[in-house]
Amino acid sequence: MTITAAADGSALGNPGPAGWAWYVDDNSWAAGGWKHATNNQGELQAVLELFRATKHIDDDLLVLCDSQYVINCVTKWMRGWKAKGWRKADGKPVMNVEILKEIDVEIVGRTYRFEWVKGHANHPLNEAADVRARGAAESFQRGAPVRSGPGYTGTGPATTRPTIPPAPHKDAHTFTQDGLFSLDDAELGDAHETIGDQQLGSESTVGGALRSVSERRSVTLTLSAEDYSRLSQRARVRGVSIEDCLRGLIGSS
């Protein structure tokens, strides 16, 4: 049999608060992170932790990954780097070498293959790993406990679908609430950039606008269906309402 799992990483600021996660199903997943790391380190650590968690299992391993860098590191470049003393062709040290050395140890004797999947394209396992990796990064950003997950508890491929809310049917969702933020117009512009570039990721810019209304303490946020779904996922991971999730994003900027 084959264990199918997604591995993903996240970094807020890149480098910045970072997280990693691997996901098989809702009963078998794990996440963690650091106060300061890069996205590539998160992606690599997710793969490393997946191999560690399943090393007692005889089944083959299929790793779904949205990072070509990680796939090429493990399947193409690592052997040559190791032969050269973990240096590249130009003689410079290989980046992230400590994680790569640990992966090199863990893959010995394992039967595995990698498959590239497009990130943020509604692939169920990839989205589930992404939500958990970003949730870990956000926890480190806030100084809050990380939801580390149950680890690997199964003996085969996933049999349940991940708990990710479906995309809303409407094209956009608007929230208006007095006192949601206490910011002036200039600060609202900064907040919009923070939500678009850091919290929801550079590949998914907030599809709407933050604008002040009649009172300075009242704003309207308009999101596309895709961005609303992603924000809902983050709120679910943190166990808060969407409005409270937004407050946390602005408060941590």
Residue 130: active-site member: yes
Catalytic residue among 127, 130, 138, 227, which? 130
Q: Is 34 helix (H, G, I), strand (E, B) or coil?
A: strand
Beta bridge partners of 205: none
Catalytic residue among 13, 60, 102, 120, which? 120
C-alpha dist (Å) from residue 61 to 15, 124, 154:
30, 18, 13
Q: Which of 135, 121, 125 is nearest to 23 (CA)?
A: 125
**Strands laid side by side in the 28-37 sheet:** 28-37, 16-25, 2-11, 60-65, 112-116
Contact 225, 208 (CB under 8 A): no
Catalytic residue among 66, 127, 138, 227, which? 66
Catalytic residue among 25, 43, 138, 227, which? 43
Residue 8: active-site member: yes
Helix axes 124-142 and 225-238, enclosed angle (nearest 10): 60
Catalytic residue among 8, 25, 127, 227, which? 8
Among the residues of the chain, which ranges form H helices?
Answer: 39-53, 68-72, 78-83, 97-106, 124-142, 185-193, 225-238, 242-251
Residue 244: active-site member: no
Residue 58: active-site member: no
Residue 90: active-site member: no
Q: Which amino acid is at 189?
A: G
The residues that are catalytic are 8-9, 43, 66, 120, 130
